[in-house]
Amino acid sequence: MSPEKQLRRVLSVSQTLVAILFGGWGEWQRIQSINRSLGWHSTAVFHIWPGPLKFAMILNAPALLVGEFIEWPINSFWPDLPESLRLLPLIPLVALLWYVIGRWLERRSGTVHHAGSSTKLLWAIVLFFFLFCVPLALRSHQLRACCCMG
- pLDDT, tens only, 31-71: 788 778 777 767 676 667 777 888 888 888 888 888 888 88
Angle in degrees, CA 95, 73, 85, rounded to 5: 55
Round to whole Å and give the CA distance between 50 and 81: 21
Instruction: Say which residue, 114 or 125, is predicted with more confidence.
Output: 125
> Residue 76: what pLDDT?
85
Residue 4 has pLDDT above 60, yes or no: no
Crossing angle, helix 115-149 and helix 51-59, to 10 degrees? 130
Instruction: Give the DSSP letter string of 32-66.
Output: HHHHHTT-TTSGGGGT---HHHHHHHHHTHHHHHH
Sequence-separated (6 or more) residues with CB below 8 Å from residue 53: 22, 23, 25, 26, 27, 29, 30
Burial 16-55 (b: 16+ CB within 10 A, else e): bebbeebbebbbebbbeebeeeeeeeeebeeebbbbbbbb
> Residue 41: what pLDDT?
66
Round to whole Å and give the CA distance between 64 and 93: 8
